[in-house]
Amino acid sequence: MENSSMEGERLEMFEVGPCENAYQMGFLIGQRFCTQIRSRLATDLILQHQLLPFARNPQSRPLIGALSDTNRKKFPRYWDELLGTAEGSGVPLLDIILLNFRKEILPFIPKTETNSKDETDEDCSDILVVSDSMAFVAHNEDANVALVGHTYLIRGTLSNGLSFTAYTYAGELPSCAFGFNTHGLAFTLNSVPPSKDEVVAGAIGRNFISRGLLEATSIDDALTRIHSSEASVGHSYNLIDVKTRRILNVETASKNRVSVHEVGATPFFHANAYLHLQIQQADDENSLSRQKRAALLPKGSENDFLSLLGDMNDEKYPIYMTGPILYTLCTTVIDLDERTLSIIEGNPKDAHHDYSMRVIPGAMGKTQGDETDSLLMPSKNSREAEQTDVVVTSPIKNNASSNSSNIMGINPNFCIIASADIHKAQILKPEVRPQPIPQA
């Protein structure tokens, strides 16, 4: 794997909002992470070798224009957020548009010997179970090596009081990976590659759909949002509701085709192929290999799940990936009974949780110190360690000068207890300037 200059950077969390508008939220995110965004744009081979050359061709304008128009009309707030991210980071709007619509554009780019080598930009593996003794999700966030060092956590608070936490790819809307909100709704995602004939040109983008899931009030609301999404390409959503102790795997395709599987006591492994939605799909030898390998491995405990996601038995198509094209950025573990979401950087077999967040929805009107508030805290670097309500030194990278611990995020439904190295946004007032859709 070609090392990213940012590979050694620690994952940052940025707390932002409530803002005056969606553009301002995007602007502040873009401003805070401009270095990561610019670095990704410079090193992302899919962007450089495929998306940008395609966008320079006049024949691409109808597709890019249709995607922009359709998504702006259906999700005007998220479109403004995207505009703000481009403006705040000081990068061309076209580049941000191409990153966010890459899955909707790539099927229409003719494959050549050069660009086919960089074609795969994400996979993912999930193991899920809901039984009497455990309710658990473990997820490998796999992506193109260009994403190494180019991700961050956004903790956004909206004007209506809702807060979400989202693992975010640099330059993209939160989140095409995983996240949760103060309604106790969490999700992880799996890419599923349909054949080109299954793609609807110019329809709704996956990034806009998952951005909407961060605001879902329940698992049923999340399903409704997915059903009405009018997606351009398919996707697999793992919806997790800690309040009702339910996990749903939702496979989707264009033309509003949806299949729902409720996860039960039999552990359910999902890679990057449709398992229950009947659809014509592209062959994915990598996904098939991981699916077969997972079927052979034990799945009786959390240790088994993490060992499965850390498996490297197949040198060509391991479940845990280290390059040269695909890389496991992190593993996230969601325990519905403990109501925690943990993030592991490195092979999950090693069991070092770098961050642990409590996903506990509180009742409106609870005070900040109430035991039902949601908590974020660094882990004690062992999955056997107890979760404790203490303030400890956080591993999250920061530029804050203060080393003292504090409490931030005064919200009756959600507070963060951590050290001062979570960077909090200064609410600036950037000038809002309408931007036309860029011409390639």
Task: Tell me which DSSP letter residue 334 carries.
Answer: E
Name the pLDDT band for 193 (thresholds 50, 70, 90).
confident
Q: Which of 122, 299, 298 is nearest to 210 (CA)?
A: 122
Is 337 contained in some domain?
Answer: yes
Q: Give residue 166's domain range.
A: 13-424
Categorize the per-residue pLDDT at 9 as very low, low, confident or very high, splitting at 50, 70 and 90. low
Q: Which residue has the tokens 């994915």?
A: 284
**Max Cα–Cα distance, the chain, nearest Å:** 60
CA–CA separation, 201 vs 204, rounded Å? 9
pLDDT digits (tens, 9 = 90+) for 61-82: 999 999 999 999 999 999 999 9
49 belongs to a structural domain: yes
pLDDT for the residue numbered 359:
74
In 3-state terms, what secondary structure has residue 43?
helix
Query: What mean pLDDT do residues 396-405 have?
Result: 29
Instruction: Give the Cα separation of 314 and 318 in Å (integer).
Output: 5
Where is average pLDDT lowest: 109-123, 199-213, 291-305?
Answer: 109-123
Q: Pick the residue with more confidence: 104 or 381?
A: 104
Question: What average pLDDT does range 422-429 have in this prediction?
Answer: 44
Per-residue confidence at 176, pLDDT binned at 50, 70, 90? very high
pLDDT at 415 over 90: no
Q: What is the mean pLDDT of residues 231-259?
A: 96
Of 119-123, 163-167, 222-226, 353-357, the one with minimum mean pLDDT is 119-123
Mean pLDDT of 98-125: 80
pLDDT band at 369 (very low <50, low <70, confident <90, very high): very low
With a cut of 90, say whether residue 371 has pLDDT above it: no
Query: Phi, psi (5° rounding) for residue 407?
Result: -115, 130
233 lies in some domain: yes
| CA dihedral (79, 81, 84, 86) positive or negative | negative
Does any domain span residue 437? no
Q: What is the pLDDT of residue 356?
A: 78
The whole-angstrom separation of Cα 252 and Cα 228 is: 11
pLDDT confidence of residue 284: 86
Position 249 in a domain: yes
Q: What is the mean pLDDT of residues 217-239?
A: 96
* CATH value at residue 130: 3.60.60.10
Assess if residue 4 is contained within a domain. no
Tell me the three state secondary structure of residue 65: helix
Task: Using the structure block, give the residue that is written with the tokens 């395609």.
Answer: 54
> Are 126 and 291 contacting, i.e. CB atoms less than 8 angstroms apart?
no
Residue 190 is predicted with a pLDDT of: 96
Q: Is the pLDDT of residue 393 over 90?
A: no
Is 335's pLDDT higher than 70?
yes
Q: Is residue 224 scored above 80 in pLDDT?
A: yes
User: In the predicted model, what is the mean pLDDT of the chain?
Assistant: 82
How many structural domains are present in the chain? 1
Q: How far apart are CA 232 and CA 361, in angstroms?
A: 33
DSSP symbol at 256: T
Instruction: With respect to residue 376, please indicate whether it lies within any of the assigned structural domains.
Output: yes
In a domain, 294, yes or no: yes
Q: What is the pLDDT at residue 366? A: 33
Give tens-digit pLDDT for 341-351: 999 999 999 86
